[in-house]
Every structure is written in C-alpha cells, then in structure tokens.
Structure 1
C-alpha cells in the first residue's frame, strides 16, 4: 500500500473506534482481518497513524478546526510525518485508494500552525479538566510533560538475572540494534522510530523463550528496583496482576526468601504461572483470591509492595485512547480503591517493615495526596528519604525534578524518558 491508501485505512479505523466505541487494538485487528492483502508493514504504518492521531488529538484538532478522523489523520501526515501538504494533495488526486482531495480550508490549515492564543491544555495535548492537576504536579513544566507524554514510547526489556545477563540479551537481539537503558542497570531499550517504523517482535526470540528477559518499561524496572527487596526477605506483592513486578522482585532476590503474589482479580493473575516457570522464579508462592487467602501473613512481612490500581495516566504514550476516556468520576473511584488497599496492605507488615506504594499515574491525587492521606489516617509510618534511596539503589544522584514535594519519586517521559510512574516507600516505626 502507498501512503494515500494507508491514510485512508487509518481514517476508517478511527471512524470504527468512534462509532462502535471499541478499543483501538480491536479496531486495528478487525481491519487487518477484513483486509488480508495488507502486509505487516502496512498494518504497522496504519497503527502508527492511528495512535499518533490519538496522542496529539487536542492540538491536531485545534490546527484543523475539527476532530474528525479525517482531520486528525491529515494532521498526523503533515505535523508528525513531515509530509508536504501540497504534494500530499497531489498524491490523493492520483490514487483511487486514498482520501478525497483536500479542500482549500484543509490545505490552508495544514500549511499553517497553531495560533498564539491556543490554550495551554491544547498545547499539552491533555483533557482540559486535568490541567490544574498536572500544573500542581509539575509546576511550569506541566505543558512540556504533557507534550512528552504525547510521544511514541520505546520498547524496553528487563534482563532476568536468574537466567542471563544484559550482555547476553543484547547479543541475542543484536539485529534490532538495542542499547542499554539510561538508568536501569539491567535494562535494554529499542527507541521508537519515526513514521511507519515497526516495533520489533522480541517475544519470538530464542532469548525470550528461554526466559532471559521480559518486556518491561524502564520506569517499571526502576520502581521495582527501588522497592528494595533483598534475598531472604518475606515479601507480599499485593496487586501482582500478570506478575511483571513479581518477576523483577524474584530476580532481585536471587530466588532466596519468599514472595507471595496475590491479586483480587483471578483473570489478571492467570498469566503469572507460565511466566514464573519460563523465568525460573522458584521463590514465588501465588495466592489465588479467596476468603482468608492471606490471613497467615498478617504482621509478618518485611515488605509489602502495592502496585495500586490507578488511572493509567502514565501509560498515555502506549494507550492514548484512554487519555480521552478518563473522567473525574473514574479518578475518584481509583483514589478510593487506593486508599482502601493501602489500609489493607499495612496490616501485613511487621514492625520495621516497609510499605511500597507504586502507581502508573502522573496525577497528584493518586500519588503524593494519597500518601499524605494514608499517613494522616494511619499513625506510625515515615517516608523513606527518596534522595538517599535512589543513590543507594543506583549509585548516583536522582535526576533533577524526580523527587516530589511529598517525598515520593515521579518518573515521566520528560524527566526520565520512561512511562509515568510514582513511587513512595513508607517504613513502619514505633
């Protein structure tokens, strides 16, 4: 397929997403099944167009004066893919599979730029109602934070030290030109390419099948390392999900001690069994959700890790459609869930134990505010100093701006080149 045909297909997919209210991944899969003539390169390019349109939906719509699928995809072609508007229009006229030729207004808008009076939240490509929260979290840098969150993510991998090392992983994936991650000492990354670049399929690699590495964003690797799990400890991973951080903890503990992996949702927990086997993680005991499943752990844990349910605002680069679906009601629901699970988690700590609170959110309501509310409601916890913890974990000073006003750690694409994550360690005292 030539570019006009790919643009037309992207418009169709976005139209399907809007009219049928289904996830982007499902709409792209359906398009591929209905258009089997399209090759892997075509499908990757169409997916990139769709996701790029959603990542910068606000500013694309502002430029075009419309947020229709056609307007958004045309804006991507010119603003993000650096196509010349006039040349693009000529290609439409010559290709029967492409979109209709540009109107005079469309051509003028594509050749223009955002007006000076454009609202800050539009420049940041975030929902208007979230602007105050982001400004509170990041101060004058909040627009730059939003713009960075509208970029493409890298593909990051975490070396499984139970079976391999980073050099071996990089040699195994040499054909993809991997590089070492900037912060995680065991991470490997493949930066996102421009335009129609394809993301490497590393899960078919021999090293992955042997358990040498896991796909895991560097930000997730960083917060798992900061959790500080040590060989011989008793650790409860209270929101284990599919087991990404459980596996990282097992690797850090070198299979010594015990990790209890639990999640209240049996379906989320299901993939963990195969992953544990492939990774060679033998110190993990999975606790399925049922009444009294964790009663024998009360007051006995050295460390309780809570990777809390959250809005997922830190993953907007990967799931940009969720950016525009988030509502104040959903945020309030997540905040309530987090407060409840923090109260639940502290029950399992022994004196001197550490409660680790993690979210993949960039909103203060779910991060510093949540920690402050917990400490106000639950006496006997102190925040572990973030600066010292970072230096102890990584052997160097924390990047500028990552330590929050409340003493936590915020990771973002703008600050650390990662997905958005929040981390805070709370030690039980007294």
Structure 2
C-alpha cells in the first residue's frame, strides 16, 4: 500500500474505534482480517497513524478546528511524520484509495501553530477535567509531563537472571539495535522509531523462547526492584495478574524463599503458569481465587506487593485511547477498589513486614492521597524514605523529582524515560 491508502485505512480504523467504542487493538485486528492484502509493514504503519492521532488528539484537533478521524490522521501525517501537505494532495489525485484532497481551510490550518495562550489541557494533550489533578501531582511541570506522555514508548525487556545475563540478551538482539536501559540494571531497550517504523517482534527470538528475557517496561522493572524482595523471604503478590512483576521478584530472590501469586480474576492469572515455566521460576506458588485461598498466610508475610487496579494513566503512551475514555466516575471506582484492597491485604503482613503499594497511574488520587488515607486509618504503618529505597535498589541517588510529597516514588516518561508508575513502601510496626 502507498501512503494515501494507509491514510484512508487509518481514518477508517479510527472511525470504527469512535463509532463502535471498542479498543484500538480490536479495530486494527478487524481491519487486518477484512483486508488480508495488507502486509505487515502496512498494518504497522496504519497502527502508528491511529495511535499517534490519539496520543495528540487535543492539540491536533485544536490546530485543525476539527476532531474528526480525517482531521486527526491528516494532522499526524503532516505535523508528526513531516509530509508536505501540497505533495500529499498531489499524491491523492493519482491514488484511487486516497482520502479526499485537503481543502483550502485544511491546508491553511495543518501547518499552523497553537497560540501560546492555548488552554493547558490542549498543550498537554490530556482531558480537560484532569488538569487540576495533574497540577497537584506535578506543579508547573504538568504540561511538560503531559507532552512527554503523548510521545511513543520504547520497547523494553527485562533480563531473566535465573537463566541469562544482560550482555547475552543484548548480543541476541543486536539486529534490533538493543541497548542497556538507563536505570534498571537488568533492562534492555529499543527506542521508538518514527513514522511508519515497525516495533521489533522479539517474542519470536530464540532468547525469548528460552526464557532469557521478558517484555516489561523499565518502569515496571524499577518498581519491582524497589520492592526490595530478598532471597529467603515469604512474599505475597496480591494482584499478580499475568505475572510480570512476580517473575521479576522471583529472579530478585534467586528462586529462594516463597512467592504466593494471587489475583481475584482467574482470567488475568491464567498466563502466569506458562510464563513461570519458561522463566524457570520455581519459588512461586499460584493461589487460585477461592474464598479460603489465602487464609493460611494471615500475619505471616515479610512483604505484600499490591500492584493495584488503577486508571492506567501511566500507560497512556501505549494505550492512548484510554486517555479519552477515562471519566471521574471510573476514577472514583478505582480509588474505592484500591482502598478496599489495601485494607484487606494488610492482614497478611507479619509485625515489621512491608506493604508495597504500586500503581501504573500518575494521578494523586490513586497515589499519595490513597496512601495518606491508609496511614490515617492504620497508625501502625509508616512510609519508608524514598531516597533510601532508591539507594538500596540501585546504589545511586534517585533522579530529581521522583520523590513525592507523600514519601512515594513517581516515575514518568519525562522524569525517568519510563511509563508512569507510583510506589510507596509502608512498614508495619514490629
């Protein structure tokens, strides 16, 4: 397919997303099934157009004075991918699969600039109602944080130290120009490409099949390291999901001690079994979501890890469609769920144990506010110093800006080059 046909396809996919209210991944898959003539490069380019349109939806719509799929996709082609609008129009005239030519108004707008006095949420490419929350979280830097969250993410991998070393993984993936991550000592990264660049399919690599590495954002690797798990400990991963952090914890513990992996949703937990086998993680006991599944663990755990269900605002680079679906009602629902999980999970800690609260959110309602409410209701807990946690995990001072007012650690694309994550370590009195 040539560029005009790819643009038309991206407009069609984005229209499908908006009219049928379904995830981008589903709409792209459906388009691919219905258009089997399209090659892998075509599908990647179309996906990039759609995701880029959603990442900067607010600013592109403001420039174009139009938030239609057509306006957004054309804005990406010119403003993000650098195509000349006049040359685009010329190519449209000779391609039966092209969109309608750009109008005089579109041509005038598409190369314009946002006024300096544009609303902050437009400059930041975030929903307007979230501006107060982001201001509380980041102060005067909130617009820059939003802009960083509107960029493409890298592809990050975690070396499975139970089976391999980072140098071996880097050598295995040399054809993808893989490099070490900046913070995680076991991470490997492939920076995002531009335009129609394809993301490497590393899951077909020999190293992945042998269990040498897992796909895991560097931010997730960092919070797993900050959890401080040590060989020989008894640990409960209370919201284990598919097991990404469980596997990182098992490697950090060198397969010594015991991890109990639990999740209230059986379908989320299902992939963990194959992943444990491939990774050679032998100190993990999966507990199915039954009424009495964890009764024998009450008061016995050295650490309880809560990777809490959240709004996922920290993953907006990867799932930009969720940015525009988030509502105050959904945020309130997640906050209530987190409070209930914290209240329940604390029971499993022994005296002197540590509760590790993690979200993939950048919103204070789910992070510092949630921890403050927990501490007010549980005076036998206290937050550990974030600088000391970072020093213990990485042997260096924490990057500027990551320590929060509530003694938490906040990772963001702008501050750490990662997805957005939050961690607070809460020690129970002996």
The two structures share one fold, judged by TM-score above 0.5: yes
2:316 counterpart residue number: 316
2:423 counterpart residue number: 423
2:402 counterpart residue number: 402
Q: What does the per-residue CA deviation read over 1:198-234, in whole Å, with 9 as the maximum and x for residues that have no partner?
A: 0000001110001000000000000000000000000
Alignment of 1:307 onto 2:307:
yes
SS in 2 for 1:43: helix
- Partners of 2:375 and 2:116 in 1: CA distance: 44
Q: Which runs of 5+ in 2 are unaligned?
A: none
2:116 counterpart residue number: 116
Matches within 5 A, 1:331-342: 331-342=331-342
- Partners of 1:214 and 1:137 in 2: CA distance: 31
How far is the alpha carbon of 1:258 from its aligned partner? 0.2
SS in 2 for 1:366: coil
How far is the alpha carbon of 1:117 from its aligned partner? 2.8
2:72 counterpart residue number: 72
2:214 counterpart residue number: 214
SS in 2 for 1:59: helix
- Partners of 2:115 and 2:386 in 1: CA distance: 41
2:270 counterpart residue number: 270
How far is the alpha carbon of 1:254 from its aligned partner? 0.4
2:390 counterpart residue number: 390
How far is the alpha carbon of 1:127 from its aligned partner? 0.2
Matches within 5 A, 1:238-277: 238-277=238-277
- Partners of 1:2 and 1:321 in 2: CA distance: 26
- Partners of 2:79 and 2:142 in 1: CA distance: 22
- Partners of 1:423 and 1:404 in 2: CA distance: 10
Q: What does the per-residue CA deviation read over 1:248-277, in whole Å, with 9 as the maximum and x for residues that have no partner?
A: 000000000000000000000000000000
How far is the alpha carbon of 1:18 from its aligned partner? 1.1
How far is the alpha carbon of 1:53 from its aligned partner? 0.2
Q: Which runs of 5+ in 1 are unaligned?
A: none
SS in 1 for 2:365: helix
Matches within 5 A, 1:164-183: 164-183=164-183
- Partners of 1:21 and 1:179 in 2: CA distance: 38
- Partners of 1:397 and 1:388 in 2: CA distance: 8
* Aligned 8 A contact 2:298 2:349 in 1: yes
- Partners of 1:332 and 1:16 in 2: CA distance: 28
SS in 1 for 2:136: helix
Alignment of 1:34 onto 2:34:
yes
SS in 1 for 2:352: strand
Alignment of 1:230 onto 2:230:
yes
How far is the alpha carbon of 1:109 from its aligned partner? 0.3
Alignment of 1:194 onto 2:194:
yes
- Partners of 1:162 and 1:112 in 2: CA distance: 53
Q: What does the per-residue CA deviation read over 1:316-341, in whole Å, with 9 as the maximum and x for residues that have no partner?
A: 00000000000000000000000011
- Partners of 1:187 and 1:374 in 2: CA distance: 33
Matches within 5 A, 1:14-33: 14-33=14-33
Q: Which runs of 4+ in 1 moved over 4 A?
A: none
How far is the alpha carbon of 1:388 from its aligned partner? 1.0
How far is the alpha carbon of 1:111 from its aligned partner? 2.1
2:139 counterpart residue number: 139
SS in 1 for 2:382: strand
- Partners of 1:251 and 1:427 in 2: CA distance: 23
How far is the alpha carbon of 1:22 from its aligned partner? 1.2
- Partners of 2:152 and 2:48 in 1: CA distance: 9
SS in 2 for 1:156: strand
How far is the alpha carbon of 1:88 from its aligned partner? 1.3
1:290 counterpart residue number: 290
- Partners of 2:21 and 2:427 in 1: CA distance: 44
- Partners of 2:97 and 2:420 in 1: CA distance: 39
- Partners of 1:22 and 1:309 in 2: CA distance: 20
- Partners of 2:403 and 2:235 in 1: CA distance: 25
2:325 counterpart residue number: 325
How far is the alpha carbon of 1:98 from its aligned partner? 0.8
- Partners of 2:85 and 2:10 in 1: CA distance: 17
- Partners of 2:377 and 2:12 in 1: CA distance: 51
- Partners of 1:354 and 1:318 in 2: CA distance: 31
* Aligned 8 A contact 2:315 2:360 in 1: yes
- Partners of 2:51 and 2:223 in 1: CA distance: 27
Number of matched pairs: 430
- Partners of 1:239 and 1:426 in 2: CA distance: 17
* Aligned 8 A contact 2:79 2:111 in 1: no
- Partners of 1:148 and 1:229 in 2: CA distance: 31
Provide the alpha-carbon RMSD of the alignment: 0.6
